[in-house]
Chain A
Amino acid sequence: MTTSSTLRPGVVDPGPPAPRPPRRRGDGAAALAFLTPSIITFLVFVLAPTVGVLVLSFYNWNLLSDGTFVGLDNFDRLFHDGRLLGVYGSTTYMALAILAVNVVAGLLLAVLLETRMPRWLRGFFRLSFLFPFVVSASAVALIWRFLLNKDLGLVNYLLGLIGIDRIDWLGSSAFAPVSVIIVNSWKTIGFSILVYIAGLQSIPNELREASIVDGANAWTRFWRITFPLLSPTIFFLVVINTINSFQIFAEPRVLTQGGPGDSSRTIVEYLYDRAFGDFDLGYASAIGITFALVLIVLTAIQFWFSRRWTFYS
């Protein structure tokens, strides 16, 4: 047990914890009243739709006529859907790439932004990276679609100036998913940078200063001090970006309409088309339920692995 006698000089003894104030009658009612909006919102907009989707997955329903109970038929169809596996593949490819860009490039950029530079320049860079994040995804994608046009877009024009031939960014199976990755990463990396900067600023300067005194170089300081203390932030961003990147919709919808073929189609786009293109709400619900389970399992795996590398000081 730590006592005041063992404290280093300059460290103030916080003393024993203050006694918790007695709970007053009526506090529960007030707390409930404050919580009511959140509870109602959760029930109406989260729990009820979730239960609704679960129930719908056992029905055939086209929005306009009475539903028919079909048991597990919709889930059985998942195994016979010739396109679903391919769409899972394209979704995974794009999601992992977006995740990597956000977590790795986001960290590098955040570290660069924390280096010594004029305050106005730092503000300019921070604003530049964060701005796309607060703009509508559809609006961003519309502008990028214009820029990435193979024959009339600005990107290929600029590449042409350095001798690179025109790339079919939106029309080829190889580059369409790459375009989605670029546009989505460009839009979302500002959030990752913001969180990283907050994490970096919470690392005590004394540790860095002490390591400099001990002769540690920048690389050692990053791996021995910055990275371990930043690991909870990295873990948070891995989880959040995994969930978000698997759920992208607007960018492929606007940029490539999921094509060519299904090369840039995501699961969310696919289930949307089944629900509101085919009016096959039951099957779309089954896709949604299984997709949610996949994300839950992925997140659980991430939490399990995080115990090995996440350091909470």
Chain B
Amino acid sequence: MNIPNRKVALACATAALAVTALAGCSSSDDADTSSAAKTLEIVYWNYGPAAESGNKATADAFMAAHSDVKVSLTPVTGENWGTYYANVATLIASGKHPDLMVISGEGAQFVHANNLVQPINAYVEKDPEAKTLVADIAKGLIDGFTVKGDIVTLTYGWNDMVVYYNTDVFKKAGLEPPSADWTWDDFKATAKKLTADTNGDGKPDQYGFTWASNEIFPGIMPWVANAGGNLTSDDVCTATADTPQVNKAVTFLKDLITEGIAPAPMPMSDVFTRFQNGQVAMFGAGRWPIATFLPAGFKAFDIQLYPKGDTYKTVFGGAGYPILKSSGNPDLAWEYQKFTVSDEIEKQYVGTPDKPGDSIPSRRSVAETISKVGVPPANSDLFYHSIDKYPTLVPYPAPAKYSTFESTVLRHLQQIFASETSVSDGLKNMQGELSGIVTC
């Protein structure tokens, strides 16, 4: 053959590059299974740097305590918990067999309904250490992860929905901080006083309150719960979106917009920015905003319970590492799950004033140290008290098709809040659509 060496070398290099690139796309299952006995594969939602560093710190600490175990972390992206579950399902469909995966309360029904998870009831009953740990965890957090009697996982961290308020805006308006026993009327009156036209163009540019338009838990759920309603029946088998209670809650929020006390709803990330620059005086969320606020140097805020409606219920969501049925070593996976609620790991969720945790430790004894350590806000003890002292919204309105459920609710709410349909018609349409989604 008369082919120049340079040409041959170039062709080989090109082919080799292609093969290398494609090899990089292949699964690493073969390598993993050879030492499955001492390897743990963990999938988590990589929602940001905090998720990555938190999961890595837990894995590193576990490996330091168990020198013969290798923990392998697989970050999975997703715009919210729903899309994260979808991406994990894709991962499993492609042949990956994780031992544990991080889930939120909304995912408990999903993993249970899809027969993905190995319940931990037997471990909790037999393991003496587990009994001590469970006794230190609020009952609501255990109930929140129990589906049809099966405990899906222990919760390592959680969030309850509270009202954040900008203390500078309150001072400027001459208002006292809200008290825990405030009512919807008190709330509305306060929000009205906080709404202002600061640039004199005749239209408000500072609003009393807003809520996340892209999630239902920090969005409408606290209002629905405090009106005495829920979006599903107790067995999460039937939609209950057009009840008088849900109507009352949605009408209250709609009126805030109509009366100019709340701006057009916006996604949570936008709410954070508007709150920090004082354009929004109050909003609802869990503990996670402080992981954004404090590193940015913003400390002019505090928290209070949601105002009481016809009742008061704490709306919360947690996260845990359930053991998957695909696990080759469930006993070791259980040790890992237990480790995630150990003192060492739970303290990470307390954090420091400069580097706070982004959720509430599930262990009461650890959570109570947040205010002692001095992590803002000043009213931080409220986080755990809310689940210990008040009734909770159980179950989560989180059917197995949670992603579809949430997007359907949000789609109809968009139309209601944009005044394109009445509250009652909007909820009726929502109920009609949800009846095919919320089933057992």
Interface residues of A (CB under 8 A from B): 24-27, 29-30, 33-34, 36-37, 40-41, 44, 62-65, 142, 145-146, 149-152, 157, 160, 166, 168, 170-173, 257-262, 273, 275-279
The answer to whether the Cβ of B56 comes within 8 Å of any Cβ in the partner chain is: no
A-side contacts of B8, CB under 8 Å: 30
Known contacts A25-B1, A37-B18; is A63 also within 8 Å of B415 by CB?
A: no
CA distance A30 to B14 in the complex (A): 11
Mask for B263-275, Cβ within 8 A of A = 1, else 0?
Answer: 1111101100110
CB proximity of A265 to chain B, nearest CB, Å: 9
Q: What is the CB-to-nearest-CB distance from B172 to chain A, in angstroms, rounded to a whole number?
A: 18
Instruction: Assess whether B114 is in contact with A64, with CB atoms less than 8 Å apart.
Output: yes
Q: Give every chain B residue within 8 A of A171 (Cβ-Cβ).
A: 264-265, 414, 417-418
Interface pair A278/B401, CB less than 8 Å apart? yes
Binding site for A on B (CB under 8 A): 1-3, 7-8, 10-12, 14-15, 17-18, 22, 25, 82-83, 86-87, 89-90, 92-93, 114, 116, 201, 203-205, 207, 213-214, 263-267, 269-270, 273-274, 279-280, 401, 403-404, 407, 410-412, 414-415, 417-418, 420
Given contacts A145-B270, A146-B273, contact A277 B18 (CB under 8 A): no
CA distance A25 to B273 in the complex (A): 67
| Bound-state Cα–Cα, A64 to B269, Å | 32
Distance in Å: Cβ of B239 to nearest Cβ of chain A: 16
* A–B complex contacts, Cβ < 8 Å, 18 sampled: A24-B2, A27-B3, A29-B3, A30-B7, A30-B8, A34-B11, A37-B18, A44-B25, A64-B92, A145-B270, A150-B264, A152-B205, A171-B414, A257-B411, A260-B414, A261-B414, A262-B411, A278-B404
Contacts of A260 in B (CB 8 A): 411, 414-415, 418, 420
Residues of B close to A26: CB separation below 8 A: 1-3
A259 to B203, CA, bound (A): 26
Which residue in chain A gives the minimum CB-CB distance to B17? A37
CA distance A90 to B352 in the complex (A): 49
Measured CB to CB, the closest approach of chain A to B264, in angstroms, equals 4
B279 touches which one: A37, A145, A152, A279 (CB < 8 A)? A152
Asked whether B420 lies within 8 Å of A277 as measured between CB atoms, the reply is: no
Contact across chains for A34 and B14 when beta carbons are under 8 A apart: yes
Complex Cα distance, B18 from A37, in Å, reads 5
Chain A, residue nearest B400 (CB): A279
Given contacts A25-B2, A26-B1, A259-B411, are A36 and B86 in contact (CB under 8 A)?
Answer: no
Using known A-B contacts A273-B404, A279-B86, determine if residue A149 contacts B411 with beta carbons closer than 8 Å. no
Besides A25-B2, A64-B92, 8 other A-B contacts (C-beta < 8 A): A29-B1, A34-B14, A64-B116, A171-B264, A257-B407, A259-B411, A261-B411, A277-B407
Judge whether B89 and A63 touch: CB under 8 Å.
yes
B102 to chain A: closest CB distance in Å? 17
Chain B interface main SS type: helix
Which residues on the A side are within 8 Å of B82 (C-beta)? 277
Contacts A63-B92, A258-B411: A30 and B11 contacting too (C-beta < 8 A)? yes
**Is the CB–CB distance between A33 and B90 below 8 Å?**
no
B22 contact set on A, CB distance < 8 A: 40, 44
Q: Are A37 and B15 in contact (CB under 8 A)?
A: yes
Q: Tell me the bound Cα distance from A147 to B201 in angstroms.
A: 18
Query: B86: shortest Cβ distance to chain A, in Å?
Result: 4
Are B420 and A173 in touch, CB under 8 angstroms? yes
> How far in angstroms is the closest Cβ of chain A from B253?
14
Determine which of A33, A145, A151 lies in contact with B15 in the assembled complex, contact meaning CB atoms within 8 Å.
Answer: A33
Closest to A31 in B: B11
Using known A-B contacts A146-B270, A260-B414, determine if residue A33 contacts B89 with beta carbons closer than 8 Å.
Answer: no
Query: A61: nearest residue on chain B (CB-CB)?
Result: B93
For B205, what are the chain A residues with a Cβ–Cβ distance below 8 Å?
Answer: 151-152, 157
Would A276 and B86 count as touching, CB distance under 8 A?
yes
Residues on B with beta carbons closer than 8 Å to the beta carbon of A41: 18
| Contact A151 B204, beta carbon cutoff 8 Å | yes
Given A30-B11, A166-B203, verify A63-B418 contact (CB < 8 Å).
no
Q: A36-B18, A259-B414, A259-B415 are in contact. Are A170 and B3 (CB under 8 A)?
A: no
- Alpha-carbon separation in the docked complex, A165 to B403 (Å): 36
B292 CB to closest chain A CB (Å) equals 15
